[in-house]
Amino acid sequence: MQIIDGKKVSAQVKEQVANETKELIKKGIIPGLAVILVGDDPASRVYVNNKKKACELVGFHSVEYALPASTTQEELLALVEELNNRADINGILCQLPLPKGLDDNAVIEAISPLKDVDAFHKQNVGRIMIGDYDFLPCTPAGIMEMLHAYDISVDGKKCVVIGRSNIVGKPMAMLLLHENGTVTICHSHTTNLSEITSEADILVAAIGKAKFVTADMVKDGAVVIDVGMNRDEKGKLCGDVDFENVKDKCSFITPVPGGVGPMTIAILMKNTLKAAKMQNNVL
């Protein structure tokens, strides 16, 4: 069993981004990322701080808009429109979920597809579907980056994704399919779940239930990717996979923390760099 080290792979991605950013800065272009945070959700605050740190590390200009939970839909959309029109901002990210009373979808659709570095806009989602895209959603793209870093081929493999969210499950299935995996998506209505998962060569768990995937659900020698970020009964961070009992059956497995998490922010940096290049015609 080999641990897939997300911290190590994400450091490599960020180093590459930093090197390319230095070259861009020589041409007078500083990639800029705007992060919008509405309300005071502590988990969202942690994510936003991590994104700011990553921007500093790779040499980006970053701007944070911390808005009160009382912000109206009109105020939020007006801010997005202003950022769409700013040449110094190449990527716009609105931390989801938004407080009650605000419409996540309306905000996603308001962000220019050219600055949608989360790849949530319908236009970008459609382009991922047909395989002709500029940006990929950060978590699924981060997972593919890890598989490549460890020379894990998807071609011809049975791939099972547990979870069908627009942010992870669906795009994850699409990216595995683009690399010639045979993909099954499982969800809360799936019958015989463990029969399906135990045939997977590559198993991706993205459901948000602590230690849901147990050893009997995993095939010997499988590659297991754990997207979950939960707390166990002792309040300790854990994933969707029962790591201690599953790890000995795997050929590769991602830990929580230190697996998929760091990759998400690394890909966000990669997407923002690409947006800066595209908007300045230096691709």
> Looking at 118, 226, 240, 242, which residue is catalytic?
118
> Looking at 14, 51, 115, 247, which residue is catalytic?
51
Q: Is 51 a catalytic residue?
A: yes
DSSP-assigned beta bridge partners for residue 231: 237
Backbone angles phi and psi of 113, in degrees to 5? -55, -25
Angstrom distance (rounded) from CA 51 to CA 64: 10
Angstrom distance (rounded) from CA 38 to CA 45: 10
> Looking at 95, 240, 242, 249, which residue is catalytic?
95
Angstrom distance (rounded) from CA 248 to CA 233: 23
Q: Is 279 a catalytic residue?
A: no
DSSP-assigned beta bridge partners for residue 34: 63, 92
Q: Is 95 a catalytic residue?
A: yes
DSSP-assigned beta bridge partners for residue 65: 36
3-state secondary structure 3-18: ECCHHHHHHHHHHHHH
State the angle between helix axes of 138-149 and 260-279 in degrees (0 to 180), rounded to the nearest 10. Answer: 110
Angstrom distance (rounded) from CA 23 to CA 156: 39
Angstrom distance (rounded) from CA 89 to CA 279: 10
Backbone angles phi and psi of 218, in degrees to 5? -120, 135
Name 197's Cβ contacts closer than 8 Å, sequence gap at least 6: 160, 162, 186, 203, 213, 217, 218, 219
Residues that are catalytic: 51, 95, 118
